[in-house]
Structure formats: structure tokens, C-alpha cells
Amino acid sequence: MTETEDYITQITEEVQSANQWLPALYEQLAKRIVGQHYLIDRLLVGLLANGHVLLEGLPGLAKTSTINALALAVNSDFSRIQFTPDLLPADLIGTLIYNAKDNVYTTHKGPLFGNLILADEINRAPAKVQSALLEAMQEHQVTIGDTIYPLPEPFLVLATQNPVDQEGTYPLPEAQMDRFMLKVVVEYPEEHEELQILDIMAQTRPKIPIEPVLSPEHILAMQDIVDKIYVDTSVRQYIVSLVMATREPARVDEELVPYIKYGASPRATINLTLAARAKAFLSGRGYVTPDDVKDMALDVMRHRINTTYEAAADEVTREDILTRVLELVPVP
């Protein structure tokens, strides 16, 4: 057995020992959330990979309910921020309050000082407020006055947004979008799932308690294990090739060239690797496969490429482009 095989065996044992909480977590979430397995999987990937998650979908698709249920199952500090057009940056990060009696300023910390932050309907607030999240999401710190305050660890922003063509929405700036590791599109439930939803939730005051099964310390420990998951050189090259194909589409298909204004940033390369590692962790493996990469590629890159007017005219979506890239880039 080679040194690499020894390492993979060791990490796989650590992964399988650490992810024994999964059945209990799924059991707690299933009390309130019917179906939405894809959504739950992506939220767990974000949690394990220390990456922020943006959920997009029409109202009423359990986006907020799923995040609330996850926050209850993870015994951590949870803040919910409802984004509205009149929200101010100080409403998120906090502010300095003058005490006239003592002639001093005291710091009032905002709701961002928590482990799990639900930014609900994030695109209903103007860009100035959305941008107040940039430092917190990237640096895990905020600046109030002249002082920098570190945010608690783990720190994860789980944001929901309505489709941008809905009334009263503001598109997120590109710099803000790039801070999200994943952008997940939430779809309608299946018919049999809707019947289950009816059975569980069609009450005036549904009481469905959720027991905590994880702590912040558990999450940090699992993130350390995720960092150790093995990524072979060929898989790393595959990840880079996928990202480069969005910047230089002529590499894979000349027909894609008129449709891409600019491709994914280096942050996409980093986040795709981390997301693939987290996916391997959830699968009980100490190594990443090309299938892990392919499974996460759409959610990691759909918000990181910008399409042209020609794409809009030809009704070519970002998902269409990325699907084509995944078909054409050789898999190791």
C-alpha cells in the first residue's frame, strides 16, 4: 500500500467516524421539511465547507423554514435579518451609541454577530445595505467606527432571494454574488411531497419541536477534517479546466464564445474544491472523485459567469452553458 493510499484510508476512517451525526440530523430536519433533499444537501455542504449559501426561488418553497430548522438542529447563535428597502447598514453590523451622561460612545453590535445568519429576501434591500455584508462574509469581521470586531466561528450566511424579475427586488452586485460559495435554485415539491406537507403543516399552530444534534465545536472539528480530504492531481486539473472553460470557451466549443461576457473567478476554483471535499465527506469518503466535482459545479459557478445579450436573445441560460461545459471537458 502506497503512502497516498495509507493517507486516504486514514482520512476515510476519520470522515466515517465524524459523520455519524448525519442520520440524526436528517431525522430532525424531516420533522418540518418534506422533500427538498437537494436543498438540505447543499446547506450541509456550505456548513462543512465554511461557505455562504444563496437560495433562490419563489415565495413559499420552504427556503426560510429549512434554514430555521437547520439552525435549531445546530445548537448555535442564530440571527434572522429581514431585508427591506428601508434597512440601513448599521441595522446589520451595529453602530456607536453616544452616552451623554458619561460622555462616551458604546458599541452596539448588530445581528451579524452570530454563527448562522439568515438573510431573508436579501435582494429586497438596496445595494448599499447588501454591500455591508461584504467584509463580514469575506473576512469574518466587521468594522464599527475605528474598531474591527471578529465574528464568532463558525460564521455562515444563508441568504434567500426572490427571482430578480419579481416586483421590488434589486439584483445583487457581482462582488456580493461572488462571496457566496453556492447559489441553489429551489424548485416546487413533487405531488406526493405536497400531500405530506399538507398533513404536517395544515394546522393553525403547528408545533414541531426540533432537538439540537450538533454544536459549533462539532462543526469546526468537521471543517478541519474536510480540509484534509484528498484531492488527486488529476481532479485538481479537472476543476481548473472547468473554470478555464468558462473564461476561454473556445477551448471546448466555439459556439459558446458569443454567449459568455466573462467567466468564473479564481474564487470559483477554490470553492469548487472545497464543495467537492464537503460532498465527499457527506458520502463517507476521504477522497474527492470527479463525480463530486460535477455534482457541485453548477451551484458553484452559475452565479459567477455573466452572459451576453446574444445569450438572452437566443434564450441560452447560464445553466445551459455550464451543462455544455461539463459535457465537453474531459473527465479524468
pLDDT tens digit sequence for 222-275: 999 999 999 999 999 999 999 999 999 888 888 888 999 988 989 999 999 999
Residue 269 belongs to some domain of the structure = yes
Residues of the chain scoring pLDDT < 70: 1, 60-62, 164-169, 193, 197, 201-207
Judgement on whether residues 156 and 61 belong to the same structural domain of the protein: yes
The cell for 14 is: 476519520
Give pLDDT, residue 145: 80
Could you say which of 153, 183, 202 is where a domain stops? 202
- Domain CATH for 114: 3.40.50.300
Name the residue among 187, 273, 274 with its Cα closest to residue 236.
273
Judgement on whether residues 193 and 296 belong to the same structural domain of the protein: no
Residue 186 belongs to some domain of the structure = yes
Judgement on whether residues 163 and 241 belong to the same structural domain of the protein: no
Give pLDDT, residue 326: 93
pTM for this model (two decimals) = 0.88
Provide the domain limits for residue 321.
229-328
Residue 144 belongs to some domain of the structure = yes
Could you say which of 202, 218, 242 is where a domain stops? 202
Judgement on whether residues 241 and 192 belong to the same structural domain of the protein: no
Q: Is 5 exposed, middle or buried (0-12, 13-18, 19+ CB in 10 A)?
A: exposed
Give pLDDT, residue 166: 59
The cell for 109 is: 453590535
Give pLDDT, residue 69: 81
Give pLDDT, residue 168: 60
Residue 11 belongs to some domain of the structure = no
Taking the C-alpha atoms of residue 144 and residue 146, their distance in angstroms, rounded to an integer, is 6
Give pLDDT, residue 29: 79
Residue 281 belongs to some domain of the structure = yes
Residue 207 belongs to some domain of the structure = no
Per the structure, how many domains does the chain have? Answer: 2
Taking the C-alpha atoms of residue 85 and residue 124, their distance in angstroms, rounded to an integer, is 6
Judgement on whether residues 172 and 240 belong to the same structural domain of the protein: no
- Contact call for residues 160 and 120 (beta carbons, < 8 A): yes
Strands (E), the chain: 52-56, 78-82, 94-99, 104-109, 116-120, 141-144, 147-150, 156-161, 180-185, 260-262, 306-307
3-class secondary structure, 66: helix
Judgement on whether residues 56 and 152 belong to the same structural domain of the protein: yes
